[in-house]
Amino acid sequence: MRIAALTFVFNEFVNLPIWRKYYGSQLGERNLFIVDRDSTDGSTEKLGEANRILLPRTPFDDARKVACLSSFQSGLLSHYDAVICGDCDEIVVPNPNQYPGGIVEYAEKMEGEYATCLGIDVTHIIDAEAPIDLTKPIMRQRRFGLFKGAGCKTLLSRVPTLWAPGLHCTDKPPRFDPDLFNFHIKLMDYQCAMQRQMTNQATEWSERSLAANHGGHHRYSFDKFVKEAFLDSSNSVRTNKVQSFDFSNEIAKLASETKQVGGIYWMPQNVFRWIEFPEHFRGVF
């Protein structure tokens, strides 16, 4: 089975190497497609056999981004059996206990034409964990994560898919799989996240995106960002709000409350659950 991975980047010097290594090792680097909004930090200059598609750097517009990715994903499916499409801080991971062959095995056995991942923020608990060492596996250094409805995304598909801004929702009803995860690594390290937030704050946004408040969290003040991303997280773990690695109730809530509006299936975003990663996820990337 031929599977492509597709992403959209600007100055992702931390996350892009992780994305490229993970997907390249499973799919082959020639099957990676990186849409680059004219990065200036050198992160897209040496990509091995991965494919770089260079775009002009105009004011960032989330609707234009997903229109580009939706069209590109559709085109890739004329040559590939399936495509993974997401941000480069999103790592699609099948349960290694069920799919030791990783993404390829999962896609070969996947029921239906697409799958919706369960989204989990891999989070740095700053008062209990050391800064990340990027030369070592990420999941051996982080114990806790936050399940988020907003991170549950349809990222793996065998059919053309139309995404809404943020890649959160699509033109198809979600098909949740409790054995497929979207590990979001934006918050895996305090210092890396702060550097990324500086880049996000300096981004010039289109008037349309600002009016619609697309990506509003990327424009948070540093105080608000640190509180929500790290201080509240450490407090949740310290006060024993961590629950079991079972998302049956959350999946049921997301499925029952999804609404179709304007041709898009909108899932609720306010669903959360703190968890500790089971041992079999250690070292998956």
Amino acid letter, residue 248: S
Of 271, 234, 15, give the one whose Cα is nearest residue 132.
15
Given this model, what pLDDT does residue 214 score? 93
Task: Tell me the per-residue pLDDT of 62-93, one tens digit each, with 9 for 90 and over.
Answer: 999 999 999 999 999 999 999 999 999 999 99
Distance CA(67)–CA(73), nearest Å, equals: 10
Contact 193, 229 (CB under 8 A): yes
The pLDDT assigned to 93 comes to 98
- Please, which residues have CB within 8 angstroms of residue 262's CB and are 6 or more apart in sequence? none
- How confident is the model over 94-141, as pLDDT tens digits? 999 999 999 999 999 999 999 999 999 999 999 999 999 999 999 999
Counting Cα atoms < 13 Å in the Cβ hemisphere of 239 gives 7
Q: What 8-state DSSP symbol labels residue 231? A: I
Chain segment 159-201, per-residue pLDDT in tens:
999 999 999 999 999 999 999 999 999 999 999 999 999 999 9
Q: What pLDDT score does 239 carry?
A: 95
Tally of domains within the chain:
1
Closest to 249 measured CA to CA, from 163, 199, 178? 178
CATH of residue 169's domain is 3.90.550
Q: Structure pTM?
A: 0.96
Backbone φ/ψ region at 252: left (φ over 0), alpha (ψ -120 to 50), beta:
alpha
Among 32, 55, 52, 31, which residue's Cα sits nearest to residue 43?
A: 52
Give the domain range for residue 276: 3-281
State pLDDT tens for residues 209-248.
Answer: 999 999 999 999 999 999 999 999 999 999 999 999 999 9
How far apart CA 190 and CA 187 sit, in angstroms, is: 7
Cα 168 from Cα 8, distance rounded (Å): 15
